[in-house]
Amino acid sequence: MRYISTRGDAPALGFEDVLLTGLATDGGLYVPESLPHFSIEEIRSWRGLSYSELAFNVMHPFVDDAIPADDFRAMLEETYKEFAHQAVAPLVQLDTNEWVMELFRGPTLAFKDFALQLLGRLLDYVLEKRKQHVVIMGATSGDTGSAAIEGCRRCEHVDIFILHPHERVSEVQRRQMTTVLGDNIHNIAVRGNFDDCQRMVKESFGDQSFLGGKTQLAAVNSINWARIMAQIVYYFHASLALGGPDRSLAFSVPTGNFGDIFAGYLAKKMGLPISQLVIATNRNDILHRFMSGNRYEQHQLEHTLSPSMDIMVSSNFERLLFDLHGRDGALVKDLLERAQQGPVSIEDYRWRHARKLFDSDAVDDKLTCDTIREVFERNEYLLDPHTAIGVRAARNCRRDPAVPMVTLGTAHPAKFPDAIAESGLSIKPELPVHMADLFEREERCSVLENDLSAVQSFIADHWKHA
């Protein structure tokens, strides 16, 4: 399996190099040169498999011979046995043909665990094999940081630096990052927003001279192909649990950076019957404005009750644009350069092709709270604000009531007590037992100005071999 850049000017790489590289040298994102395709008969034969066995079948073609099959199987079993539910991603029914897939049963209570607990193991395996050290630099709008730190904290060949927007993540999200203490773990609170953090990461990957040639950066953000690869699996898992592949499913996906829903798009291209993908966003609705009206235009970023989606520059959207433009990297590069100057649209026939599969909706804080309250009053089931946005968008955009609609439950409600309180419910969601003492743990974090050179200097001074 070879991987190519969405901008067409970087060399094709194998899985190991893509795992360690993050952004391509031309500024693009890596995607597989070709996708594996599974027949309906083959997918049907996977009924009854454990989650880790299913994950092996779906992901092994992407890894190919980079990791021996038995080693990869063992890695997957170790990853998913740490989840706090035997089903790993259990499905909860809300109404007739309406479901929530709980993706928050991992160590840090968010869907990011599915990929990042595996990514840490993949990195350790490859770096040990190469006798190489890397510096992980990542940006988080809330959940990626804690999942990355948890996944990589035991890695012997890694220093990890996570940037988050100062005072713009929930307290639980912050503490999940800042209370994991280790010589190789560094949390940086940037006086800016998530897009500022993400921009610093991208620019640092583009020019790594601040590291003095002594190490290289590795990515944990969803620009890393391994993140997308791992997220494809749970679409197959949901389908097999609900009668697939002999019937089609629809999915509603709360998304800011487009990675989680892009995984669903790939699952369909790999042979899984999916009839509809709903892009569920908050007031930071650039993806909704594009999918509903073919206009890609950045607005001022707003702070909402769903902070993990407070993103205006959706990195993984580039991967979809690459496919919509016939995998022509030059066209994608030109479009994205023009998008930095002002609003852009794509050719109508390309946009209409995307609309065959995708719908979208933008849900504000009031509707988010209304949905949390309504679902609890009807079902005594508590949604976090991101999942509530997914449920509301699913109900607003649903094409066919006969097709099962699955909303991806992206985070545990205990991570967002302010949103629960704002919804008017008089209950306080409790943290799971393994996090019960979170608010008593010591925190460690460095607050830096919104300045690239300050952040790069901090990293250069603090990685362990500096």
d(CA 143, CA 218) in angstroms, rounded, equals: 18
Which backbone phi and psi does 63 adopt, to 5 degrees? -85, -35
* 96 closest CA partner among 400, 409, 390, 360: 400
* Helix 348-355 vs helix 317-324: crossing angle, to nearest 10: 120
| Catalytic residue list contains 333 | no
Q: Are 447 and 191 in contact (CB under 8 A)?
A: yes
Who contacts 128 (Cβ-Cβ below 8 Å, separation ≥6)? 156, 157
Cβ-Cβ contacts under 8 Å for 343 (sequence gap 6 or more): 295, 296, 297
Q: Which residues have C-beta within 8 Å of that of residue 351, sequence separation ≥ 6?
A: 294, 324, 345
Phi, psi of 350 (to 5 degrees): -70, -45
Q: Among the options 112, 268, 333, 415, which is catalytic?
A: 112
Q: How far apart are CA 298 and CA 320, in angstroms?
A: 18
Provide the CA 24 distance to its chain's centre, in angstroms: 19
Token pair for residue 308?
């993990």
For CA atoms 411, 413, 419, 425, give the dihedral sign.
Answer: positive
DSSP code, position 50: -
Name the pairing type of β-strands 91-95 and 98-102. Answer: antiparallel
Residues 182-215 as b or e (16 or more Cβ within 10 Å = b):
eebbbbbbbebbbbbbbbbbbebbeeeeebeeeb
Query: Residues with catalytic annotation?
Result: 112
